Structures are given as C-alpha cells and as structure tokens.
Amino acid sequence: MQKKYLMTPGPTPVPAEVLLTQAAPMIHHRTPDFSAAFMEAIDGLKYVFQTEASDVLIFASSGTGAMESSIANCFCAGDSVIVCRNGKFGDRMKQIAEVYGLNVIDLNYEWTQVVDPADVATALEENPGVRGVIVTQSETSSGVLNDVERIGAIVREYPDVVLIVDSITGIGAVECKTDEWGLDVVMTGSQKGLMLPPGLAAITVSEKAWRAYERSTLPKFYFDWKKYKKNLEKQTTPFTPAVSLVLGLNEALKMIRAEGIENVIARHARLAEATRKGCEALGLQLFAPPEGRGNAVTPVWVPDGVDGKAIVKIMKDKYGVTIAGGQDEYAGRIFRVGHLGYFGEFDIITTLAALEMTLAELGYEFERGAGIKAAEAVFMGA
C-alpha cells in the first residue's frame, strides 16, 4: 500500500467533510432545498471574495469558463484591451480576447517577472478609448504574484475601463479585496483554494462591469451574465447546476469561515515560506522573483545535471507525492509544489522529505535533512 499526497496547484486535496457532503442523495435543482443551499453558497463566496457591492455568479465549468465569460460580457468586437501576461494563464486571456475579435495591447513579461503597474498606467495614457485591463493575480505556471491592488487604484480613475482579475489560484491563498481595491471582475475555480473537485467557477461583477455588459455586443449564451443575474434574483440558476458541488462548496466555505479568511491567508503564507526555505536549504533556486512570490505554488529551477521530469515521476511513483512539472517552454526545467487549499505543515514536511530522497537518488549533492530542518524552523517560529 502507498499513501498518496496531492501537492499540485490544482486540483487540490478535498477535505473528507466536503466529500461526504457531496455523497449525500441527489436533490432536484428546482426546489426550495437547492435554492437555500445555492444562496448560502453565494453568501459564502461574497465573504471569500471580500465583496458586498458586487454580484457573485456561479457557473458549472472550469475556471476557463469564467475567463471566457469576462471577455464575452464586457466588450464589443474591435474594443481595445490591455492584457498583462507573465505566464500561461495570462497567455490564455490574450488568446480568448483575440478569438472574440478584440484589439489586444500586449504587456508581455518574462515568466520570472512581475507586472509593473506603471506600465499599465502608461498604456492607459497612450491608448485612449481602452475598455479593459486584464491581469492574472496569482499566476499558476510561474508562482508570480501581481499587484492588483496598485493596478486597481490606477484603473479606478478610468470610468469606462473595467479591471478583470484572474484570481483562480489566488482566492483563499492571498489577499484579494474586491471592493476595497476596486476590482470589477474577479474569478476563481472550485479545484483551488475552495477545496473542491473541479467543475465550478465563480465570478464577481461590479456596477462598472454591469455597465460594460449593457454596451457589449459580443455573442454569449451559456455564459450570459444577465441570465445568471435574473435567475439569482429567483434564487436559482438558468441552467442545470452542479448540485453536489454546490453542496460541497457550502461545507468548504463553512471551514473557511471557521478559520477566518485572514487566518486562511496567513496559513498559506507560512506554508509557502516553509516550502521556499526548505528548497533553498537544499541549494535549489526559486523561480519567482522575491518581490512577487505568491502563496499558492512554489516553482523551483531544476538543478544542472538533473532530469526535471524524473523528479516529478520518482516522487509520484516511488514516494506517492504528486507535484507539478513546468509548463510550455519550462517543461523539465522547473517543478512546482502546490500548497493551496486543504494543506497543513506536515504536508510540506512530507513533500520535502520525498524531494530530498528523490534528489539523492538522482545524484544531486546536498546536506540531507537540511530542507526539512529549514521548514520546521519556519513552522516553529525559529
């Protein structure tokens, strides 16, 4: 028997309480029972998104569905949008915008760089008539955390420009104050900090975003926000919802409320710091820059002379610890340790132990136990 550990940035582990709730007998989605559960989920998501002013909409989709909905509902063909990208999912937002016929003003950075808010300000000044700014808060592929608070302060001065924030890997792991920071559209997915299986996406829509919707002429049907808004007023959904996932979501949101969103974020910060210190103690180099490291995932450069894909394979097959490899041009060059959602201190200790044994097997020289010791020091406050 081998006990398995899922240490990826999505899907993430699901608590037993959530799994058991999802195993309950199915209920019909056009009943008072589901309406009550659905509105409970909306209220809980408002707490996690830290919003009172914005509407929250729930889709039966992956996070990419929420990404596409933000484009289809806010713009017209030919509109100009500023897309900030420093990873795979910023690239995806650019691709979606182009599919819908938008003119993309491309702020493209290396995956090891942080988006500079000053570049956003300059792009807005130099491109009058821009209708949107799109940025990924926590980039899953690179572990980079972009400063959406500062970007929000800039975009707030433009009444016709909506700020769209992909926080699919951010919500629940890092601060994301939707109302206070002036974020018009914020999105997340169920398989991340919400501690659920994949299949749900949630999005916030501000008053400014609703004004953008009213002028939007892009085609939309399943992801038409107005359909969800009208049905929300009737405490239901326009299409068949993922009933069991909504029930599980409520259980997960209860756990988040019990811990407190500030404490949830602080826990993620400790897990991330311990992972980083542990890897550095082994002589490994971190991928994301010091000024922009998030709490959801720690990407690490593969050391010279070591097979990066072998690290991922051995940890999974021999030690039962599944981490993620690099994406696109960084495949085999970096590995990524996720610590987003239902994670605690000993998940990190176990992962570092498996990493040490794997690196030793692959011939990499380091002080055995150094990574574990460094992580313990973080957890013990040393």
Show the tokens assigned to 162.
Answer: 């909506």
Cα separations in angstroms, 10 against 128, 193, 314, 369: 38, 9, 20, 28
Question: How does the average pLDDT of the chain come out, rounded?
Answer: 97
What is the mean pLDDT of the segment spanning 86-106? 97
Q: What pLDDT digit, counting tens, does each position of 97-156 carry?
A: 999 999 999 999 999 999 999 999 999 999 999 999 999 999 999 999 999 999 999 999
Counting residues of the chain whose pLDDT is more than 90, the rounded percentage is 99
Residue 25 is given by DSSP the state P
Phi, psi of 132 (to 5 degrees): -160, 150
Picking from 98, 119, 100, 97, the residue whose alpha carbon sits closest to that of residue 108 is 119
Under the banding of pLDDT at 50, 70 and 90, the label for residue 358 is: very high
Examine the pLDDT at 184 and tell me if it is beyond 90.
yes
Cα 110 from Cα 122, distance rounded (Å): 19
Q: What pLDDT digit, counting tens, does each position of 212-239 carry?
A: 999 999 999 999 999 999 999 999 999 9
Assign 110 to helix, strand or coil. Answer: coil
The count of other CB atoms within 10 Å of the CB of residue 350 is 17
Domain extents in the chain: 5-10+261-379, 16-258
CATH code given to domain 5-10+261-379: 3.90.1150.10
Under the banding of pLDDT at 50, 70 and 90, the label for residue 5 is: very high
pLDDT value of position 177? 98
- Does the domain formed by 16-258 have CATH 3.30.1330.50? no
Torsion of CA 34, 35, 37, 41, to 10 degrees: 130
pLDDT value of position 282? 98
Pairing of strands 201-205, 5-6: unpaired
Spell out where the chain has E strands. 5-6, 55-59, 80-85, 103-108, 132-136, 162-166, 185-189, 201-205, 297-301, 321-322, 324-325, 334-338
Spell out where 113-153 has E strands. 132-136
Q: What pLDDT digit, counting tens, does each position of 258-288 carry?
A: 999 999 999 999 999 999 999 999 999 999 9
Examine the pLDDT at 382 and tell me if it is beyond 70.
no
Pairing of strands 334-338, 324-325: antiparallel
Q: What pLDDT digit, counting tens, does each position of 55-80 carry?
A: 999 999 999 999 999 999 999 999 99
- Amino acid making up residue 276: R
